[in-house]
A = this chain, B = another copy of it.
Amino acid sequence: MSKIRIGIVGYGNLGRGVEAAISQNDDMELVAVFTRRNPASVTIKTANVPVYLVDDALNYKEQIDVMILCGGSATDLPEQVPHFAQWFNTIDSFDTHAKIPAFFDAVDEVAQKANTVSIISVGWDPGLFSLNRLLGEAVLPVGNTYTFWGDGLSQGHSDAVRRIEGVKKAVQYTLPIKAAVDRVRNGDNPELSTREKHARECYVVIEQGANAAAIEKEIKDMPNYFADYDTTVNFITEDEFVTNHQGMPHGGFVIRSGESGENDKQILEFSLKLESNPMFTSSVLVAYARAAHNLAQKGDKGAKTVFDIPFGLLSAKSAADLRKELL
């Protein structure tokens, strides 16, 4: 059987992760990487795979089954996905929750006309967590859904700390609060404030002569990012930072705590514990690239989300083998 031919647009953490994930799937091959940088300056891991300018992608239309777009949600994806959907089946990880409906409509309009399949907002949240929120309320319509994140590195909060004057390096970890998680797992159905659900922990390296106390106060008082949470600030050396805080762990859990029709408590939980957030997100993107290809082969088209994709299409195995081996 011929392999599914994948193109990558954007070669940052996510693009590198997609490349690595493709190497774990025998039914796929990486055809090309597209970049906005000078292609000669980009060295990828896979041997004999070319790097091209993103503007030249259209020339490779016939050689690529699915294009995985690995740009950011703020400015890259809202522009790139509708653009590439004119010619390619696409996968993206657009994660600005509030803008998903408009993004879906924009992509769908293009993909319907172009007869392409675009699965949007793929990853773990939005993505696998969303699926479990849906499953929980569909199966247990009477109940509450809780999403906790962490222990994990938050890129946005780390950036916010790094923007403070006198901060040389910083990371911020989001931590689910164990007492709250335990109450939820126990079926108590608590109402939880922002502060009761998650804590924030910062590890900060400061510039020589900077005022640690002032920096700590500025972090803890920062509206939206930290003011509503219990925040711990740890000042550490640059060596310690390099040794212990270079990874990108993340994870979390979605819990549905419901009652079935004769008042029995029923708890459903989906959890992830990830040593590398971008590597896992990439692995999800690649599985959904297979689904996009499968759908396109069947003549389907338009924008889709994880809610529209049967799990069977994520697997390289036949439907008969899946029934035999995994059901």
Answer whether residue A135 sits at the interface, using C-beta atoms and an 8 A cutoff. Answer: yes
Cβ-defined partner of A324 (8 Å) among B101, B185, B283: B101
Answer whether residue A232 sits at the interface, using C-beta atoms and an 8 A cutoff. Answer: no
| Residues of chain A in range 290-327 having any CB-CB distance to chain B below 8 Å | 290, 305-312, 314-316, 319-320, 322-324, 326-327
- Give complex CA distance A141, B309 in Å: 19
User: Which of A20, A271, A307 has the most chain B CB within a 10 Å cutoff?
Assistant: A307
Nearest-CB distance from A181 to chain B (Å)? Answer: 13
Answer whether residue A128 sits at the interface, using C-beta atoms and an 8 A cutoff. Answer: yes
Contact code string A132-146 (vs B, CB < 8 Å = 1, else 0): 111101111110000
Cβ-defined partner of A315 (8 Å) among B134, B265, B315: B134
Interface CB pairs A-B, < 8 A, 26:
A17-B260, A21-B260, A22-B261, A24-B261, A25-B141, A100-B323, A104-B323, A121-B327, A131-B311, A134-B315, A135-B311, A135-B314, A140-B283, A260-B283, A261-B282, A261-B283, A262-B276, A266-B279, A266-B280, A266-B283, A268-B270, A270-B270, A306-B327, A307-B311, A307-B322, A309-B310
Main secondary structure of the interface of A (DSSP, over half): helix
- Give complex CA distance A135, B306 in Å: 12
Contact code string A100-143 (vs B, CB < 8 Å = 1, else 0): 11001000000000000000010000101011111101111110
Answer whether residue A167 sits at the interface, using C-beta atoms and an 8 A cutoff. Answer: no
In the bound complex, residues from chain B placing their C-beta under 8 Å from that of A276 are: 260, 262, 264, 266
In the bound complex, residues from chain B placing their C-beta under 8 Å from that of A316 are: 138
- Give complex CA distance A310, B21 in Å: 24
Answer whether residue A196 sits at the interface, using C-beta atoms and an 8 A cutoff. Answer: no
- Give complex CA distance A314, B142 in Å: 15
Known A134-B314, A308-B312; contact A262-B287, beta-carbon cutoff 8 A: no
The reply to whether B260 and A279 form a contact with Cβ atoms under 8 Å apart is: yes
- Give complex CA distance A320, B102 in Å: 10
In the bound complex, residues from chain B placing their C-beta under 8 Å from that of A327 are: 97, 100, 121, 126, 130, 305-307
Known A134-B326, A267-B273; contact A101-B261, beta-carbon cutoff 8 A: no
User: Which of A131, A132, A323, A324 has the most chain B CB within a 10 Å cutoff?
Assistant: A323
In the bound complex, residues from chain B placing their C-beta under 8 Å from that of A269 are: 269-273
The reply to whether B270 and A320 form a contact with Cβ atoms under 8 Å apart is: no
- Give complex CA distance A4, B12 in Å: 48
- Give complex CA distance A260, B137 in Å: 30
- Give complex CA distance A307, B323 in Å: 8
In the bound complex, residues from chain B placing their C-beta under 8 Å from that of A121 are: 327
